[in-house]
């Protein structure tokens, strides 16, 4: 599995924990890859994405500790971190299920607008919009928000077997509409989902409010043949 951090997937993680506790599923044989990690935080910083995912999800399931992978953001070797992460993903046979959120600027992972649609895991600089959006995790102090991340690339994300993007709230309505119904463009990295043969987008009404064909999507979903899953 590939996992996003941030607010959007929290309900999904809560549901997976519920199913684990109900003994419906186990993560004992799963390998988990984070989408991205901040550069420049102290090791173990509670706001690192590794700490976030351990707190919100991994500590509550039976995933073996060594099966949690995140980009290496140590200063030494930063230039090869992306390639090493790609090799680790490849060594386990790739990512079957990738959970995603979307930034207000249209990013997936931290592939900011103008990221190559063929990009692989690498160092990226966050946009001002992304840093402002994430300041809530840093006591609303913009100065504390890191400027750099190592993120899976758009090409890396597109290699996963199934993409599931979750978005809620009115702030996501614009980027969601641009990603789903706008042109395929590096200016909206999430529009790359249009290239993927198996992408599922889960929205609340507010996040879906700017979709031109929302009624058609509801009709399609309601009329899905029973053999066709999401
Ligand atoms: C986080 C990530 C980002 C977030 C996006 C939405 O690992 O890759 O793309 O998914 O910034 O964040 P939230 O869900 O907090 O609105």
Q: 227 in a domain, yes or no?
A: no
Structural domain tally of the chain? 1
CATH number of the domain within which 61 lies: 3.40.50.1360
Q: How far is the CA of 62 from the centre of ligand 1 (A)?
A: 24
C-alpha to C-alpha distance for 159 and 154, rounded to whole angstroms: 9
Structural domain boundaries, residue 88: 2-222
What pLDDT shows up at residue 152?
98
Maximal C-alpha separation, the chain: 54
What pLDDT shows up at residue 103?
96
SS3 178: helix
What pLDDT shows up at residue 229?
81
What pLDDT shows up at residue 16?
98
What the block records as the tokens of 212 is 């031109």
Q: 228 in a domain, yes or no?
A: no
C-alpha to C-alpha distance for 213 and 221, rounded to whole angstroms: 12
Q: Considering the entire predicted model, what is its pTM?
A: 0.97
Where does residue 140 rank: exposed (0-12), middle (13-18), buried (19+ CB within 10 A)? exposed
What pLDDT shows up at residue 1?
98
Nearest CA to ligand 1 atom 4: 101
- List the pLDDT tens digit at each of the 230 positions of the chain: 999 999 999 999 999 999 999 999 999 999 999 999 999 998 889 999 999 999 999 999 999 999 999 999 999 999 999 999 999 999 999 999 999 999 999 999 999 999 999 999 999 999 999 999 999 999 999 999 999 999 999 999 999 999 999 999 999 999 999 999 999 999 999 999 999 999 999 999 999 999 999 999 999 999 999 998 88
Q: 162 in a domain, yes or no?
A: yes
Q: 141 in a domain, yes or no?
A: yes
Q: 98 in a domain, yes or no?
A: yes
> 123 with 81: CB under 8 angstroms?
yes
The count of other CB atoms within 10 Å of the CB of residue 81 is 20
As annotated, the active-site residues are 36, 105, 107, 112
The best mutation among 5, 164, 189 to test binding of ligand 1, ranked by most ligand atoms within 8 Å of the C-beta, falls on 5
Q: 229 in a domain, yes or no?
A: no
C-alpha to C-alpha distance for 2 and 34, rounded to whole angstroms: 6
> 165 with 108: CB under 8 angstroms?
yes
The best mutation among 1, 2, 8, 108 to test binding of ligand 1, ranked by most ligand atoms within 8 Å of the C-beta, falls on 8
Q: 89 in a domain, yes or no?
A: yes
Q: 230 in a domain, yes or no?
A: no
């Amino acid at each position: 599995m590939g996992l996003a951090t941030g607010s959007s997937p929290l309900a999904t993680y809560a549901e997976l924990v519920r199913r684990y506790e109900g003994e419906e599923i186990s993560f004992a044989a799963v390998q988990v890859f984070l989408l991205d990690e901040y550069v420049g935080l102290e090791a173990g910083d509670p706001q690192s994405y590794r700490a976030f995912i351990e707190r919100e999800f991994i500590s509550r399931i039976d995933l073996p500790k060594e099966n949690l992978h995140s980009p290496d953001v140590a200063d030494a070797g930063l230039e090869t971190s992306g390639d090493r992460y790609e090799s680790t993903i490849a060594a386990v046979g790739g990512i079957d299920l990738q959970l995603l959120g979307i930034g207000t600027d249209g990013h997936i992972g931290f592939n900011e607008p103008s990221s190559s649609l063929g990009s692989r895991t690498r160092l990226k600089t966050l946009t001002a919009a992304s840093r402002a959006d994430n300041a809530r995790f840093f006591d609303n102090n913009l100065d504390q928000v890191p400027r750099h991340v190592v993120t899976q690339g758009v090409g890396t994300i597109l290699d996963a077997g199934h993409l599931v993007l979750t978005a809620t709230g009115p702030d996501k309505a614009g980027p969601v509409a641009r990603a789903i119904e706008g042109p395929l463009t590096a200016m909206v990295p999430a529009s790359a989902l249009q290239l993927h043969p198996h992408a599922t987008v889960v929205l609340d009404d507010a996040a879906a409010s700017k979709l031109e064909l929302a009624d058609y999507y509801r009709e399609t979903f309601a009329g899905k043949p029973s053999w066709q899953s999401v």
